[in-house]
Amino acid sequence: MHLGLSESKKFVLMVAIFLFFYLVPFPFRTTNPLTEALLLLQWYAREHVLLCLIPAFFIAGAIAVVVSQAAVLKYFGHQANKILSYCVASVSGTILAVCSCTVLPLFAGIYRRGGGLGPATAFLYSGPAINVLAIIMTARILGWKLGLARAICAVFISILVGLLMHFIFLKEEREREEAAGFFLNQAEEKHSLGQTSSLIFSLVAFLVLANWAEPKAGIGGFWAAVASVKWLLSGLSLLGLFLVLKKWYAGQEIQEWGEATWGFARQITPLLFLGVFIAGLFLGRPGQEGLIPSRLVVALVGGNSFRANLFASLVAAFMYFATLTEVPILQGLLGSGMGQGPALALLLAGPALSLPSMLVLRSIIGTRKTVVYVILVVVVSTISGMVFGHLTR
C-alpha cells in the first residue's frame, strides 16, 4: 500500500492519537463532563479499535475490491428478489455481533458497491440490533417478555425502515442503480463465488470470534464453550485467511485491498472519535455523569406515555452503547422506575444508533438520508415501546 506524503502524515497522526488514548493512564481523581469524555474515548480505543473496528475496515475494503458488483446487485440491488434481500439483511445481526459504529464500514462497502439503499439500511440497523447473545441476556436479566419483544421488533423494524428508505428516496435510487448497472455490464468476474466467499468468511469469522463475549452467569452451553476457545478459533480463521490469499489473490489485489481499507479508516475513524468524545461529554460513561444529569433521564422515562417513550428513543439514539452494555445500563434504569415501554424503545434505538454513527453515516449517504434514517428509527422505536408498554400493563 503506497501512501503519499500527506496520507502518510494522516496515518501517523491517527496511530499516534490512538496510542495516546490506549496507553496513557489518565490521572483523574475526580470526574466532570470533560474527564468523562476523555475516559470514554480511552475505553473505546482500548475495547473496540484493535479487535472490532480494524477488522471491520478490512472487511469493508475486501467488499470494495474483491466482491464483484454483480454479486452485490444480485442480493441487494434493484433487480434482486426483494424477499430474499430484506430477509438476508434483517437477520445479519445473528452473525455479526457488532456495535452501531463497527457496522458502518460494512454498510459503506455494500452501499458503494451498488447495494440498494433499502436492503443496505436494513443491514445497517440489524447488524447491531439483532444480536443473539444480547437478546438472550435481555430475556434472562430483564425478563422473557422484554427479550422476546426485542427480537421480534428488531427484525420487523429493520425491514420496515429499509422499505421506507427505499420508497422515500426511490427516484434517487433508480438513477443510482442505472449507473451501477452501466458499470456492471463492463465489469469482469475476477474470482469465483467460492473464492470470494472464503475470503469474506475468514474475515467475518475473526471479527465474530475475537469479540465473542464471555456469557453472564446462568448462560452456558454453546456460548460458554466458544468463549473458552475463542482465541484458538480466531487464530485458525487468520490461518485460513492467509491460505486463501496465498492461493487465489495476487499482490496487486492485496495492495488495492489495503488502499481501500485505508480509505475507509481515514474517512470514518476521525468522525467516530469525535462522536464518542461528544457523547461522553454530554451523557458520560455508564454509571457516571455528563453535562446531562442521569436523574433527569430517569425522571423522564417513567410510565408509558408518548413523552417517556420518545425521550427514551432520543436519548438512546445519541448515546453510545457498546455491544451488550445496554442490558446492565437498562437494568439500573428499570430499578430506578423506568417503564417497560421506554425500556424497549431504548433497546431498539440505542444499539442501532449513536452520535458517532450519525456523523459517519452523513459522510457516506449525505445529510438528508441520514436525518430521515434517524427519524424513522426513533419514531418506530417510540411506537413499538408504546405498544409494548400498553400490552404489559
**What does each of the 393 residues of the chain score in pLDDT, given as a tens digit?**
555 557 888 899 999 999 999 998 888 777 788 888 888 889 888 888 888 888 888 987 888 788 766 667 677 776 677 888 888 888 776 666 667 777 888 888 888 877 889 988 998 998 788 776 677 778 877 888 998 999 899 989 999 999 999 999 988 887 777 666 544 444 456 778 788 889 989 998 998 888 887 776 656 678 788 888 999 999 999 999 999 999 998 888 899 899 888 988 888 888 878 878 887 888 777 677 788 777 777 778 878 889 999 999 998 898 877 666 677 677 767 766 788 999 999 999 988 888 888 999 999 999 999 999 999 999 999 999 999 999 987
Report the number of distinct structural domains present in the chain.
Answer: 1
Identify which of 235, 172, 181, 185 has the alpha carbon closest to the alpha carbon of residue 205. Answer: 235
Is 192 strand, coil or helix?
A: coil
Question: Is 86 inside a domain boundary?
Answer: yes
Does some domain include residue 57? yes
What is the C-alpha separation between 148 and 136, in angstroms, rounded?
9
pTM (predicted TM-score): 0.73
Quote the CA–CA distance of 135 and 360 in Å, as a whole number. 26
Q: 3-class DSSP state for residue 60?
A: helix
Domain assignment of residue 12, yes or no: no
Three cell numbers written together for 390:
400498553
Q: Is residue 81 part of a domain?
A: yes
The answer to whether residue 1 sits within a structural domain is: no
User: What one-character DSSP code corresponds to residue 217?
Assistant: T
Measured CA to CA, the distance from residue 89 to residue 161 in angstroms comes to: 12
Residue with cell 460513561: 285
Domain-embedded: residue 25 = no
Range of the domain at 350: 41-391
Backbone angles phi, psi at 32, to 5 degrees: -150, 175
With respect to residue 4, please indicate whether it lies within any of the assigned structural domains: no
393 burial level (CB within 10 Å; 0-12, 13-18, 19+): exposed
